Amino acid sequence: MRLTEKQRSTLIAAVRRHFGPDARLWVFGSRTDDSARGGDFDVMVRCSEANPQRMVEAKLALLVELHRTPEFDGERIDVVLFSPRLDPNPQPIQRVAMEQGVELAL
């Protein structure tokens, strides 16, 4: 997986801060392919939030925090959210992230 140890620890800490310790995190897409070059960071956060507005606020706060770090400054980051409390059936992109992505332990 093309993620430095510092990027990994920064991402994990930020997700934990904004989505709580019960959240789960996957990196998916081109960053999971060691032979690829470049590309954005595709991440999915699964959380237990039942309020869509709070989920969006947490996502925006996560992106602001990440972009303020040297590890993600100038990088493109796409964040997909999934909360089984809002919809127990994952959408196709959420399913791909969980099935083909790499889960990072929080």
| pLDDT score, position 35 | 78
Sign of CA dihedral 53, 59, 63, 65: positive
List pLDDT tens digits, range 6-64: 999 999 999 999 999 999 999 999 999 887 887 899 999 999 999 999 999 999 999 99
For the CA atoms of 49, 80, 17, 52, the dihedral, rounded to the nearest 10 degrees, stands at -30
Reported pTM = 0.94
List pLDDT tens digits, range 51-100: 999 999 999 999 999 999 999 999 999 999 999 999 999 999 999 999 99
